Structure 1
Amino acid sequence: MGLLQKKDTKFENMTLTEFDKLPRDEQEGYEFVDGMVMMPPKATLIHQLLITNLIIGLGPYFKGKTCKVFSEAEIKLKNDIFIPDISILCDPDKFSEQRYEGPPAVAIEVLSPATRSYDLFTKLNKYQMAGVKEYWIVDPKSQTITVHRFEISEADIYIRGEALTTPLFEGLELAMDDIFAS
């Protein structure tokens, strides 16, 4: 994850208001964290496959429910803008034309070498402080998903052969073998 530098434009020490005034094509896909515009790297094929498998696994459960599954939705948390790989958003009143304004029920990030420390530290702390209920960290290398349940200060690690469940959504089960199937 790197700081974005564009010719004739300085993207650090910016306010959220200044970020929002940028032309939409200059802010599309960028995160805004602690006054800096962050440019995520292009996702690898395995990264994309895991996101696809998660959406396929989550989709049927949320069909017809208030909560919805989104890939790369812009999320405003206090004065920061994040774009989780996947988010589960439950409050229809928090959608604006541009983004979801408030914490998602669940934020999901797939680790990559370029974003590993950012996802494991910065996002973990920011999500917890902003009121995200659960943060799922998908590790393609170890083929695990760590679920941080912030409301009860617990973290569970799910491995292949298990089913990921959450008290947030009764009856939701994700087979880890399906998520990490290639």
Structure 2
Amino acid sequence: MSKSALTQREHYNYTDYLSWVNGKRCELIDGIPVDMAPAPSRMHQKVLGDLYNQFYNFLKNKPCEVYIAPFDVRLPNSGEQDETSSTVVQPDLVVVCDPEKLDDRGCKGVPDLVIEVLSPETAKKDLSIKLHLYERTGVSQYWIVHPVDKTVMVFMLDERNQYSKPSVFGAGEQIRVEQLNSLVIDLATVFK
């Protein structure tokens, strides 16, 4: 779909998203197309790759599965059917523990954990728009990884279904993921 065609309408859905063939990756947040950043930096990919490896190795032969971008996560609002969902995102990494949410097109519904690795082009979207989106839709854990600062902010939903103040972890620390049978992510290897 051309840029001019995208500006002719104010609200799009998953059916529209599937029809776009311009070769440019984008996400759909509350019906608004949002361009994806150009190819990430080498550091971004290294950090993401190491995180993926640690999750994958731990989750192998377990019910939860880990996926790395590009991987569509459809987050229908209440009352929306899959095809009319107005939100489709491609987080850097997702963990899904309910196999009913997985199909050949990705994940339909809220993943158990989402990780975004910041880059200069995505920082504002990841720290604001996606933070509020993941909180609103009920993603129980949202990690924001700062590859330059070598830190990870872990947001967890509290009893009010709001993200509490994030826990911040540095390069030499480990993150224990209790909801995944005490998986421990070693940040020393992620940020080496």
Q: Displacement, 1:33?
A: 1.0
Identity %: 26
How well do the aligned residues superpose, as a CA RMSD in angstroms?
Answer: 2.0
Give the secondary structure class of the aligned counterpart of 1:69: strand
Q: Which residue of 2 aligns with 1:106?
A: 113
* Match for residue 172 of structure 1 among 180, 183, 188: 183
AA aligned to 2:115 is I
1:15 aligns with 2:12: yes
Q: Displacement, 1:180?
A: 0.7
Q: Which residue of 2 aligns with 1:49?
A: 46
Aligned residue runs from structure 1 range 123-138, under 5 A: 123-138=130-145
User: So what's the TM-score if we normalise by structure 2?
Assistant: 0.84
- 1:65-117 CA-to-partner distances (Å, cap 9, x unmatched) read 11111001210112311100000011111123322111110000000111101
Alignment check: 8 A CA contact 1:162 1:177 kept: yes
Change (3 A) 1:21 1:162: closer
Give the secondary structure class of the aligned counterpart of 2:67: strand
Give the secondary structure class of the aligned counterpart of 1:9: helix
Q: Which residue of 2 aligns with 1:150?
A: 157
- Separation (CA, whole Å) in 1 of partners of 2:134 and 2:2: 28
Gaps of 5+ in 1: none
* Match for residue 97 of structure 1 among 97, 101, 104: 104
User: So what's the TM-score if we normalise by structure 1?
Assistant: 0.88
Q: Displacement, 1:151?
A: 3.4
